[in-house]
């Protein structure tokens, strides 16, 4: 008998379910024979990168025969200046997803525990499991991270705690006061990862300034990304801010050219172009309110959002509604894999896309348009 590939695999990965990305627009259009499908499934920015960013990318194209700057010198300088830290406190990643992996691989030993909220970003437990760590899942409370319960879940074996703020898929935040209380109870040796992918949509006086914990020398890593508000999901670029010693350890295992050159110049140009971010934050905010009103009219319950997506409860089988929305050319995300049988996660789109979603939802839910 021949050897099965699975018997050769690292045993830690065998229990991991493959990540299911949102259905690509092109695939749905091919299936339906249509040309105007919309994707509201992956929390992407519906706006193209700004002209300035596109120009910067085009200007860098002739140099693509060269490897990128492996240290990301200029981008790290700019990010350090923006956040008032030193460049050796900044690490770039192929998306912030790569940084989650670098943190886990740098610090989590097999048998160490990681405290992970649930439901939250599926990448955290996946990477912890692959590293042979133990996932300690802590349920949300009223769709919000339960920092009290997460603090109680910490043991002497806890190496890392993940805090997605805002959380995906619920779009709720934990507040400045809640985080301060949590940090005051946290053992000194426990690393907290604040994943702030959606921070631009969430800002307000109640939102925590987690970079202050880095400055205070706490064991904190703050993750940010250019994938959402900056419209650069396709170029895969994110960054982490932490103590220089922490960053140095992550750099030991980071692939030398992990961030491509177009991503670096695009992110640099995006940093100098705050108006694009402001424009899309305003558009998303208006879109959230439009959708709340329409959901109310349709009798669809939702969780008020501090991000560019909304968790809704359609009151019946979400996978059925998902399938029927697909037939209308609208891709959303069913939350069935999280055990939320009647929930969909819907990314806020352009005003036009939002109207299209509402029309499709009204048709699918069998409501008249009166």
Ligand X SMILES: *Cc1c(COP(=O)(O)O)cnc(C)c1O
The residues of the shown chain that bind ligand X, judged by CB under 6 A, are 43, 95-97, 121, 164, 168, 195, 197, 225, 227-228, 233, 238
CB 124 to ligand X: min, Å:
8
Q: Which two tokens stand for residue 50?
A: 């700004």
Please say which residue, 164 or 314, places its beta carbon nearer to ligand X: 164
Q: Are 130 and 12 in contact (CB under 8 A)?
A: yes
Closest contact distance (angstroms) between CB of 306 and ligand X is: 13
Pairing of strands 238-241, 90-93: antiparallel
- By beta-carbon proximity to ligand X, the closer residue of 78 and 363 is 78
Q: Which residue, chain included where needed, has tokens 């705050």?
A: 274
> CB of 138: closest distance to ligand X in angstroms?
16
**Unique residue bearing structure tokens 């460049």:** 87
Please give the Cα distance from 225 to 95 (Å, whole number): 7
Question: What are 130-139's contacts with CB under 8 Å, separation 24+?
Answer: 130/10, 130/12, 130/13, 130/16, 131/12, 131/104, 131/105, 132/12, 132/108, 133/104, 133/108, 133/109, 133/159, 133/160
Which single residue brings its beta carbon nearest to ligand X?
95
Query: By C-beta, is 43 or 264 nearer to ligand X?
Result: 43
Nearest by Cα to 291 from 351, 343, 333: 351
- Round to whole Å and give the CA distance between 319 and 242: 40
Q: Which is nearer to ligand X, 201 or 213 (CB)?
A: 201
| Nearest residue (CB) to ligand X, 96 versus 190 | 96
Q: Where are the beta strands (DSSP E) in 165-275?
A: 191-195, 220-225, 238-241
Query: For ligand X, which is the closer residue by CB, 182 or 194?
Result: 194
Three-state DSSP class for residue 91: strand
Query: CB pairs under 8 A, 24+ apart, for 181-184?
Result: 181/147, 182/147, 182/150, 182/151, 183/213, 183/218
Q: In the complex, what is the shortest distance from the CB of residue 223 to ligand X, in angstroms, rounded to a whole number?
A: 7
* Contact predicate 264/119, CB 8 Å: no
Please name the residues in contact with 85: beta carbons below 8 A apart, sequence gap of 6 or more: 211, 214, 215, 241
Please, which residue, 136 or 193, has the CB nearer to ligand X? 193
Helices then strands, counting H and E runs in the chain, come out as 15, 13
CB of 107 to ligand X, least distance (A): 18
Rounded to a whole number of angstroms, the CA Rg of the chain reads 21
Provide, rounded to whole angstroms, the least separation between the CB of residue 208 and ligand X. 16
Minimum CB separation of residue 97 from ligand X in Å reads 3
38 vs 127, beta carbon nearer ligand X: 127
Give least dist CB 86 to ligand X, A.
Answer: 23
**In terms of CB distance, is 92 or 246 closer to ligand X?**
92
In whole angstroms, the minimum distance from the beta carbon of 268 to ligand X comes to: 16
């Amino acid at each position: 008998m021949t050897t099965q590939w699975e018997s050769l695999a690292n045993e830690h990965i065998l229990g991991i379910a493959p990540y299911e990305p949102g259905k690509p627009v092109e695939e749905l259009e091919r299936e339906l024979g249509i040309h105007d499908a919309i994707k509201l499934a992956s929390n992407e920015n519906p706006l193209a990168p700004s002209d300035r960013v596109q120009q910067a990318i085009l200007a860098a194209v002739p140099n693509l025969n060269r490897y990128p700057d492996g240290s990301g010198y200029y981008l790290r300088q700019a990010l350090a200046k923006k956040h008032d830290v030193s460049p050796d406190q900044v690490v770039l990643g192929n998306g912030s997803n790569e940084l989650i992996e670098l943190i886990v691989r740098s610090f989590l030993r097999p048998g160490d525990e990681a405290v992970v909220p649930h439901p939250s970003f599926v990448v955290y437990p996946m990477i912890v499991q692959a590293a042979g760590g133990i996932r300690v899942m802590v349920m949300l409370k009223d769709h919000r991270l339960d920092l009290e319960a997460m603090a109680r879940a910490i043991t002497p074996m806890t190496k890392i705690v993940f805090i997605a703020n805002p959380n995906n898929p619920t779009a709720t935040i934990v507040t400045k006061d809640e985080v301060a209380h949590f940090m005051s109870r946290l053992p000194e040796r426990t690393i907290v990862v604040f994943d702030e992918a959606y921070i631009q949509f969430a800002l307000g006086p109640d939102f925590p300034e987690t970079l202050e914990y880095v400055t205070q020398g706490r064991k904190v890593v703050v993750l940010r990304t250019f994938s959402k508000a900056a419209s650069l999901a396709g170029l895969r670029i994110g960054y982490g801010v932490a103590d220089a010693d922490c960053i140095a350890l992550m750099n030991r295992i980071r692939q030398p050219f992990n961030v491509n050159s177009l991503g670096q110049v695009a992110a640099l140009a995006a940093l100098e172009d705050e108006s694009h971010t402001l424009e899309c934050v305003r558009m998303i905010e208006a879109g959230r309110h439009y959708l709340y009103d329409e959901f109310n009219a349709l009798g669809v319950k939702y969780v008020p959002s501090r991000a560019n997506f909304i968790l809704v409860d359609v009151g019946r089988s979400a996978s059925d509604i998902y399938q029927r929305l697909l037939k209308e050319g609208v891709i959303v995300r069913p939350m069935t894999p999280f055990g939320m049988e009647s929930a969909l996660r819907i990314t806020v789109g352009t005003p036009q896309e939002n109207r299209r979603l509402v029309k499709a939802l009204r048709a699918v839910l069998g409501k008249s348009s009166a």
